[in-house]
Chains A and B, each alone.
Chain A
């Protein structure tokens, strides 16, 4: 990126496209060039632990999956070699490529530069770079991976042996104010370390793993369970201690780690390998990036943002997503990406669809009365298949198979001219079914299906035989066997292909309106974003007023005036012409499916039937009502929310008290609620800082288990500590005790807690006790879950479709999730997620139709015995009973069915069938594993009768 001129809605961006020395439109990613390339250099993707070629594909899942040429290329350096050019059969190499300047006109810009792992070499701590067997967590990540430097084996650099005793050192580069380190918490290391420990144990069940840590910050959804799972593995030790790597043992190159424990004091212990859990730095070129885009950075070098909208930079029209906001985990990164996308959309919605052109296909030929006429196209994939498999011989063989009327070879079946060739041959030879024997259907099946449509043939009359990934690539050294296997695969595909049925995809219209359930900050933000792109939104709130839990919150840790923000938000919601607010509302009934929901709402306005295409669940969370620590018995015992309200009111009893104690983890991280409420540590720090500001002499104690002020919030924790807020850690088996008593004639709440440093009981006489009461699932969660056919997780918060990849969606299509109904979260995070949900909903609502696959299930009434096994198996809720004269019969809603076919395998009578993967089709394929003429022989051989 060279520069960005202009303003929101109309930026002119100048890009310099670096040469990859490969023509993108020609390269098929076949990989022949890298086999021949003579240059090996340290592979950046594998942390330079192993080697790669000068021309190579960056990594196995790269998009696009094509090669590039690195600066280590002999030609680029010395004008020699050019082997790659010679071996490429598709003429895709261009060593003369030059940097290219591109100017583009855009309405909005989204920055997602990610982060840079902390480099422990900078400070020379822990011997990284000096001792061979000290690695960073990212090095270790690559070692664990099957595509890593040692193909998934964890080996030490010094002797290529498996380490048995491994130590992880947490907070490397994080939570420190020493120069070169970061003061903030990197937010992800505690949990990624646990993941690495679990994986290391999977590699070697006897491995001894030790984690040297500070607070264990398992604040994410399901993370507490994950922490417990790790802790319970045999041979795992979690040791709370500062650590140093003091030396390398010369004979073994093992490492000596020095640490201390309360019982044994300072000790030294030898490990085979040390993993440094390195933190997250801002992107290396953040300063230059900020400069070119004219945006500001915060003091840590991450993007400067307002805490009411972390996706907005200081320049209008430029947004940010992911870890450039600050350290964050994958789900948050995905929220913000989707959310920033939605905000970019607000600048672009007026011209949505203006550049699209509709594809017109020829009318589909009815071939139902014809015999199968199969055409087989066998691809050479350059040299990929052709060098191993005898392609011409395979073509000959294909012609001998039943129903095959035509077969030919192709250099690259995926090339444009080859697709045209297939279309032409379908017409010329009157083919009604096609098998392409090439690569994985994963990438190219859609292309070939399209090819069939172009020829006027139903796209489901297509079958792909994978003779590359499943054959030539794995049997490169046994060409004859590979050729036989190619024949086997093609024979099976042809057999299946002959039975395929033409299937129709259904286009459903999408109702352009959205329904948002819950009028808190998340719900309102989401509603505004959807309405901001021209869609009607129905916002339904159970209370009389909008605002939700935020009505009880006055500031955020970062200093946002929540009440002023809320007032503005409510005003904008009411003023928006496209948002219809229903307060005092109850949802009576919810029916329908993606794009076409109907919901009955009873509210102050009476009963309304709302039709909408998308639904967002944003019903928030509740506060736990403590039963412990004298709450409800003594009015000096409050929850943190109550404390905040009273501070905001300036209540003198609170503000002028001499001593205030807060107890963390009340009602969660226990057997009843085995999760962390995520927000309470920061809330406690926030209130402590506020009180210190109002009354600096007040004694404030925060009794905690692990301080989980993750990410940039760590600075406030440090600030509180510097301002003499006292933090005392307690263990769950030795909880603080509270009694109401008097001290020197003054009524006090005496809080007794064991000081872990001194190892003795400490009695604190407090005037006020505040309890960090858990954030608990909303009271209406079950009811709402049932109405909208979505599920709850083990902690009773709503369960998203995928914890990392689809964190704002439900598995039920067209239903989205945001805010604390998903899991406890801070206001800025809820806003991130609210925009994220809006982004996903808008992706649906911006389409006129949704297309439903043809490969869905259907029921044969006659065969259905009404047992309901299929209904149990369907997680999507796509199958229901319907009463007909013959009794209860299962019926599939094809719009909801995703075609996984679990029901098919459960049905005792074969009444339900997954189209395109029917019993007959698959069985025919199984029967063709062995050529028909060989079958009896093989059976005889197997049984030993001959």
Chain B
């Protein structure tokens, strides 16, 4: 596997487990072991992750990424020693940043839940190649991440419009839509990964799925009211 295989989730999981620092080592940039230059993907992911850490109040320097070859043992040792010192100076995770442990854990869990959404929203940037070190800092900006995490959409099925056709439910990759034929569909907000597949899938003539930003999702329609009486046919 390539360093570009490292998922945002792996890094967050380590912090969630209470690790004080995470180090990612990849091949030297432009000296790809494959032909894919996936180490640039790892770099983009790390830069994104650092901004997210900043957003939730963690010191981004707890995540370090370096590129080196198998022949760079001494360089590797230098980086590890530097990073070890750095992490020690930063102190234990959370306490140094003044975040309560439960708050931190729930914040990380919340971000982890948003990974699918983040991957979709930042897809282009995550796969790009930053060739100039000077560009690292501004690649993802704090504003960008703040708005990304502020404007998280929710998807809601309007019970008045839903025709219970099962199209969205069948397509949902997270199996987050409850319902069956003639039973109004409801999105389980805990399972929903905010990918928007249902929004795309709902036939335009129904337009039952709405994308909501900054508003609370209305409570699901009670179980007993979900059965559709096919009015048009009955009348």
Interface residues of chain A, those whose CB is within 8 Å of chain B, are 60-61, 145-147, 151-152, 442, 474, 801-802, 811, 855, 862-865, 867, 869, 872-876, 886-887, 898-902, 904-909, 911, 914, 917, 919, 922-923, 926-927, 929-930, 935, 938-945
Interchain CB contact (< 8 A) of A901 among B4, B20, B100: B4
Closest to B72 in A: A146
Q: B110-133: which have CB < 8 Å to A?
A: 115-117, 119-120, 123, 126-127
B134 within 8 A of A: no
Q: List 24 A-B contacts (CB under 8 A).
A: A61-B71, A146-B74, A152-B75, A855-B1, A867-B123, A876-B35, A876-B36, A886-B170, A900-B2, A900-B4, A902-B36, A905-B8, A906-B41, A909-B173, A919-B7, A927-B17, A929-B19, A930-B19, A935-B18, A942-B92, A942-B94, A943-B94, A943-B104, A944-B92
B75 to chain A: which residues have CB within 8 Å? Answer: 146, 152
Minimum distance in angstroms from A341 CB to a CB of chain B? 22
A941 to chain B: which residues have CB within 8 Å? Answer: 18, 92
Tell me whether A923 and B17 are in contact (CB under 8 A): no
Q: In the assembly, what is the distance between CA of A927 and CA of B13, in Å?
A: 8
Tell me whether A801 and B35 are in contact (CB under 8 A): yes
Q: Give 18 new A-B contacts, CB below 8 A, not counting A873-B127, A875-B34, A919-B7.
A: A61-B71, A146-B71, A147-B74, A152-B74, A887-B201, A900-B34, A900-B38, A901-B4, A902-B5, A909-B195, A917-B1, A919-B9, A922-B10, A938-B18, A941-B18, A943-B18, A943-B95, A944-B101
A898-B7 in contact given A864-B173, A942-B92 (Cβ < 8 Å):
no
Q: In the assembly, what is the distance between CA of A152 and CA of B73, in Å?
A: 10
Tell me whether B5 and A887 are in contact (CB under 8 A): no
Interchain CB contact (< 8 A) of B41 among A61, A902, A939: A902
B228 within 8 A of A: no
Q: Mark B172-187, 1 if CB is under 8 A from A, else 0.
A: 0111000000000000
Minimum distance in angstroms from A902 CB to a CB of chain B? 4
B10 to chain A: which residues have CB within 8 Å? Answer: 922-923, 926
Interface residues of chain B, those whose CB is within 8 Å of chain A, are 1-2, 4-10, 13-14, 17-20, 34-38, 41, 45, 70-75, 77, 92-95, 99-101, 104, 115-117, 119-120, 123, 126-127, 170-171, 173-175, 193, 195, 197, 201
Minimum distance in angstroms from B114 CB to a CB of chain A? 10
Query: What are the nearest 8 A-B pairs in CB distance?
Result: A901-B5, A944-B95, A943-B101, A939-B18, A811-B35, A908-B116, A900-B2, A909-B173
A930-B92 in contact given A902-B2, A919-B7, A923-B10 (Cβ < 8 Å):
no
B70 to chain A: which residues have CB within 8 Å? Answer: 442
Tell me whether A906 and B1 are in contact (CB under 8 A): no
Q: In the assembly, what is the distance between CA of A456 and CA of B72, in Å?
A: 38
Interchain CB contact (< 8 A) of A147 among B2, B71, B171: B71
A926-B17 in contact given A875-B35, A900-B5 (Cβ < 8 Å):
yes
Tell me whether B41 and A911 are in contact (CB under 8 A): no
Q: In the assembly, what is the distance between CA of A941 and CA of B93, in Å?
A: 9
Minimum distance in angstroms from A930 CB to a CB of chain B? 7
Minimum distance in angstroms from B3 CB to a CB of chain A? 9
Tell me whether A914 and B1 are in contact (CB under 8 A): yes
Q: In the assembly, what is the distance between CA of A348 and CA of B71, in Å?
A: 37
A905-B7 in contact given A152-B74, A152-B75, A875-B35 (Cβ < 8 Å):
yes
Q: In the assembly, what is the distance between CA of A908 and CA of B193, in Å?
A: 9
Minimum distance in angstroms from B26 CB to a CB of chain A? 12
A909-B2 in contact given A865-B173, A919-B9, A938-B18 (Cβ < 8 Å):
no
A152 to chain B: which residues have CB within 8 Å? Answer: 74-75
Tell me whether A939 and B123 are in contact (CB under 8 A): no
A905 to chain B: which residues have CB within 8 Å? Answer: 4-8, 41, 45
Closest to A812 in B: B35
Q: In the assembly, what is the distance between CA of A938 and CA of B18, in Å?
A: 7
Tell me whether A935 and B17 are in contact (CB under 8 A): yes
Q: In the assembly, what is the distance between CA of A902 and CA of B104, in Å?
A: 29
Tell me whether A867 and B120 are in contact (CB under 8 A): yes
Tell me whether B193 and A909 are in contact (CB under 8 A): yes
Interchain CB contact (< 8 A) of A862 among B8, B117, B173: B173
B74 to chain A: which residues have CB within 8 Å? Answer: 146-147, 151-152
Q: In the assembly, what is the distance between CA of A922 and CA of B9, in Å?
A: 10
Q: In the assembly, what is the distance between CA of A863 and CA of B197, in Å?
A: 11
B95 to chain A: which residues have CB within 8 Å? Answer: 942-944
Q: In the assembly, what is the distance between CA of A68 and CA of B2, in Å?
A: 35
Interchain CB contact (< 8 A) of A945 among B1, B7, B101, B173: B101
Tell me whether B13 and A923 are in contact (CB under 8 A): yes
A865-B197 in contact given A801-B35, A905-B41 (Cβ < 8 Å):
yes
Most chain B beta-carbon neighbours within 10 Å: one of A865, A926, A929, A944: A865
A902-B173 in contact given A146-B71, A938-B18 (Cβ < 8 Å):
no
Closest to B40 in A: A902
B18 to chain A: which residues have CB within 8 Å? Answer: 930, 935, 938-939, 941-943
Tell me whether A904 and B173 are in contact (CB under 8 A): no
A474 to chain B: which residues have CB within 8 Å? Answer: 77
Closest to A151 in B: B74
Closest to A802 in B: B35
Tell me whether A904 and B127 are in contact (CB under 8 A): no
Q: In the assembly, what is the distance between CA of A559 and CA of B69, in Å?
A: 45
Tell me whether A939 and B17 are in contact (CB under 8 A): yes
Minimum distance in angstroms from B16 CB to a CB of chain A? 9
Q: In the assembly, what is the distance between CA of A863 and CA of B195, in Å?
A: 11
Q: In the assembly, what is the distance between CA of A801 and CA of B33, in Å?
A: 11
A902 to chain B: which residues have CB within 8 Å? Answer: 2, 4-5, 36, 38, 41, 127
Closest to B93 in A: A942
B20 to chain A: which residues have CB within 8 Å? Answer: 942
Tell me whether A930 and B7 are in contact (CB under 8 A): no
Q: In the assembly, what is the distance between CA of A864 and CA of B195, in Å?
A: 11
Tell me whether B173 and A906 are in contact (CB under 8 A): no
Q: In the assembly, what is the distance between CA of A876 and CA of B32, in Å?
A: 14
Minimum distance in angstroms from A160 CB to a CB of chain B? 17
Minimum distance in angstroms from A473 CB to a CB of chain B? 9
Tell me whether B119 and A907 are in contact (CB under 8 A): yes
Closest to A473 in B: B73
Closest to B170 in A: A886
Tell me whether B13 and A926 are in contact (CB under 8 A): yes
Closest to A60 in B: B71
Minimum distance in angstroms from A853 CB to a CB of chain B? 11
A939 to chain B: which residues have CB within 8 Å? Answer: 17-18, 101
Q: In the assembly, what is the distance between CA of A116 and CA of B101, in Å?
A: 64
Minimum distance in angstroms from B219 CB to a CB of chain A? 26
A865-B77 in contact given A908-B119, A923-B10, A941-B92 (Cβ < 8 Å):
no
